[in-house]
Amino acid sequence: MSDEFLRWGLDVIAKVGFGTDYNVIFEAENPFLKANQLVLSAMTRCVRFPLDKFNPMSRGFRQDARAAVRFLRKTGRDVVEKRLAARSNGEYVNEDDIIGHMLKASDYLKNPEFGMEDILDEFVTLFLAGHETTANTVAFMLMELIRNQDILDRLRTEIEDVLCGRTEVEFEDLTKLSYMSQVREPSLFTAGGQLRNFEQPPCQP
């Protein structure tokens, strides 16, 4: 499930933050996924083995990692240029997602202090830092739910009560899933390690 969550994390960031879809969750060999994984591996390697950059045996790996970074930055550039083109053509664009806010902060690339290269830095960082941490959190949460059947049962009951038989979650449902919020947010546990108690209103069919 950890690998599934990694792909899911990339797709969520792409759709919610940048209004695009790389279909990573259905493609284990997706180039965007592989590039992210390679760059993360290279970052870890640099921290663990700082002298590895002088190792001639690692030259091929370093070249592959640099190519992966270039691929990610080109992907980000394509997203920015597509958004700018849509805006200039009078098409509807979402100004409230991450890329929309970054473009506004850059005055649509007219701000010399926050230009295209800065946006690409943020693009790559958000994917690298966002998808793995989120995926690991969800994976550990799932593992702990399996170990704690009583919490899993209560969580399942809350979901059934809130969704009332629906298979899709609406934005308004999120505020009603109070117990789920506690499950995914460790700070909402009590000092004794128990989840805080919240009452859920009855299902309104």
Query: Reduced to 3 states, what is the DSSP secondary structure of residue 192?
Result: coil
Do 10 and 78 reside in the same domain of the chain? yes
pLDDT one-digit tens code per residue, 80-115:
999 999 999 999 888 899 999 999 999 999 999 999
pLDDT one-digit tens code per residue, 3-26:
889 899 999 999 999 999 998 988
Determine the structural domain holding residue 204 and report its residue range.
149-205
Number of domains in the chain: 2
pLDDT one-digit tens code per residue, 112-138:
999 999 999 999 999 998 888 888 888
For 72-203, list the strands marked E by DSSP. none
Does any domain span residue 40?
yes
Angle between helices 2-12 and 31-48 (to 10 degrees): 110
How many of the other CB atoms lie within 10 Å of CB of 186?
Answer: 10
Does any domain span residue 25?
yes
Single-letter amino acid, residue 46: C
Instruction: Output the pLDDT for position 133.
Output: 86
Do 15 and 81 reside in the same domain of the chain? yes
Does any domain span residue 144?
no
Q: Which two tokens stand for residue 16?
A: 């919610």
Does any domain span residue 142?
no
Average pLDDT over residues 29-58: 92
Q: Which two tokens stand for residue 135?
A: 């995926």
pLDDT one-digit tens code per residue, 133-177:
888 888 888 888 888 899 899 999 999 999 998 988 898 998 899
Does any domain span residue 203?
yes
Query: Reduced to 3 states, what is the DSSP secondary structure of residue 195?
Result: strand
Q: Which two tokens stand for residue 73?
A: 């930055």
Q: Residue 144, Cα to own-chain centre: how many angstroms? A: 21
Does any domain span residue 65?
yes
Do 171 and 88 reside in the same domain of the chain? no
- What are the beta bridge partners of residue 14? none
Do 63 and 120 reside in the same domain of the chain? yes
